[in-house]
Amino acid sequence: MVIRGKAQYRIFSYVSSDPATAGKGLLATKFSDQGSADIQWGTLRGFKVACCDSKYTEAGESFIFANDDGYIYSMEVGNSFNGANIASIYESPYMPITDPQLRKTLYRITLYVTPTGSFTLQCGIKYDFDRINGQSVIQPPVFDIVSTGGGTSLWGSATWNQFYYGGIIDKVYSNHLVGSGKTFSVRFDDNSTNPSHTLDAAIFEYLASDRQ
């Protein structure tokens, strides 16, 4: 399936005996206008697709698919898998920053997000591939990044300064970090029916320490 508005290609694997939750797919997103360069890859889960199609109409671009249960489903509509949570994960490779032999102490992460509604993310930092020379590495705990601003309009009752209609949701979030290592990886998890969001960038404040 081609998602023209997102410059994406989605490829699905269909196994009739598998439940929809076990459906797998591959996602490729192009970040350049021409050629095969600048393609980033991801995996899809939860789509049991036997046939699919996408098309531009007067109402915009639409994406439909079907399997063997007698229903036709639409992608990119709503915030759930037919009522069930959508699980999304982004995990970076281990990054040495500069010299992979120097220990770095992380102090802060500043995350830039493009939200379409309220969201809650779990963020985790891992150091040094989890192990160094057979010794376990103490990893910092996972913490939550919760959207601020915006909210839900309640007809007939409202709590001032907590919920308000038409509010702007913050796009920049900062959180203190703990721990140190020669390389680190960052992971964001979301398993909910919250509105979608886009992770734009993450900036890390750190101090380069000694060579071990």
Kindly report, as residue ranges, where domains of CATH 2.60.120 are found in the chain.
Answer: 90-211
Q: How far apart are the first and last CA of the chain?
A: 50
Instruction: List b or e across 185-195, with b for residues whose CB sees 16 or more CB atoms inside 10 angstroms.
Output: bbebbbebebe
* pTM of the predicted protein model: 0.77
- Per run of 10 residues, the mean pLDDT along the chain (length 212 residues) is 90 90 90 77 91 89 92 89 89 90 93 91 90 71 85 47 61 93 94 91 92 73
Q: For residue range 129-146, what is the model confidence (pLDDT) as tens digits?
A: 866 565 677 889 999 999
Domain topology for 90-211: Jelly Rolls (2.60.120)
How would you class 44 by CB atoms within 10 Å of its CB: exposed for 0-12, middle for 13-18, buried for 19 or more? middle
Q: For residue range 150-193, what is the model confidence (pLDDT) as tens digits?
A: 554 444 444 445 444 556 788 999 999 999 999 999 999 999 99
